[in-house]
Structure 1
Amino acid sequence: MEFNDVIKNRYACRKYADRPVEQPVLDGILDVGRLAPTSVDQQEQHVVVIRSGEGLKTVDDLTECRYGAPVVLLITFDRNDVYTYPGGKYDSGVEDASIALTHMMLAATNLGLGSCWVNAFDPDAVRKAFSVPDTEEIVAMLDLGYPAADAAPSAKHGRRKPLEELVSYR
Structure 2
Amino acid sequence: MEFQDNKPVVLITGCSKGGIGHALALEFASRRCHVVATSRSKKTMKDLENDSRFFLHELDVVSDESVKNCVENVIEKFGRIDILVNNAGVQCVGPLAELPLSAVEETFNTNVYGALRMIQAVVPHMAARKKGKIVNTGSISVAIPTPWASVYAATKSTIHAFTDTLRYACLPRNYCC
TM-score w.r.t. structure 2 length? 0.30
In proportion to residue count, which structure has more strand?
A: 1
